[in-house]
Amino acid sequence: MNERLKLYSYWRSSAAYRVRIGLNLKGLSYDIEPVHLVRDGGEQHMPDFREANPQGLVPVLRHGSRVFRQSLAILEYLEEAWPTPALLPGEARDRARVRALAQAVACEIHPLNNLRVLQHLEHEMGVDADGREAWVRHWVEDGFEAIEAMLVDHPSTGRFCEGDAPGLADCCLVPQVYNARRFKVDMAPYPTIERIEAACLALPAFDAARPERQPDAPSPA
């Protein structure tokens, strides 16, 4: 377990952002290997990176000689390899709730709105910028409406998605809100999501993981 961790990341990738938060919450130190998803047609399509991940997607985590793919699988790996502090609660039924919230982002919203899908809409289907923004907003709003309903008034919801400690669901929710703001989604209908986002971003683990804090983020103009 003493082998160095290396994260293949892109500053604005919300899936990489999830893993950065998880690594920070666990207090693990790691190197960032930036993969520029746009420059030169996308470094994720280069043969070197494809060997690490045939999916051509970030994040990828290297731990010694092992390569880990898919952000939720990486977060579960961190949880199993470094159990404390926990990202999941102790009871199976509560763990299921947290995973369902995480997947409400990672399986229902984000896959529809990531870069490769927006590029496909533009280049293969001729959808213009307005149409692409409407697409993104539709799926974010549809997903956030459901997540807000799953959070508000639920007895397990606390300062964070589950109780008063940040966990797996928060790792997914905060990057998705970042993405929503980028696409000018009106957050007013989702007060519980906004409240939890604010509580998270007040923590150093979340703050340090922000896109604009990454070594590959462009300098402010």
Residue of 117, 165, 201, 217 interacting with its own copies (CB under 8 A): 117
Q: What is the DSSP letter of 126?
A: -
8-state DSSP, 39? G
What mask, x for binding its own copies by CB under 8 A, covers residues 77 to 116?
x--xx----------xx-xxx-xx-xxx-xxx-xxx----
What amino acid occupies position 51?
E
- Count of residues that bind its own copies according to CB under 8 A: 46
Cβ atoms within 10 Å, residue 41: 9
Q: Mask of contacts with its own copies, 22-61, x by CB under 8 A?
A: -------------------------------xxxxx----
Is there binding between residue 70 and its own copies (CB under 8 A)? Answer: yes
Q: Kindly state the smallest distance separating residue 178's Cβ from its own copies, in Å.
A: 18
Phi, psi of 66 (to 5 degrees): -90, 145
Question: Would you say 63 and 5 are in contact if contact means Cβ atoms under 8 Å apart?
Answer: yes
38, 149, 198, 208: residue in contact with its own copies (rule CB under 8 A): 149
Minimum CB separation of residue 207 from its own copies in Å reads 26
Per DSSP (E only), the strands in the chain are 5-9, 30-34, 60-63, 66-69
Question: Smallest gap, in angstroms, from Cβ of residue 71 to its own copies?
Answer: 8
For residue 25, what is the enclosing H or E element? helix 14-25
Question: Among 167, 116, 119, 123, which residue's Cα sits nearest to residue 13?
Answer: 116
Cα–Cα distance, 98 to 102 (Å, whole number): 6
Q: Which residues bind its own copies (CB under 8 A)?
A: 53-57, 63, 66, 68-70, 72-74, 76-77, 80-81, 92-93, 95-97, 99-100, 102-104, 106-108, 110-112, 117, 120, 124-125, 127, 131, 135, 138, 143, 145-146, 149-150
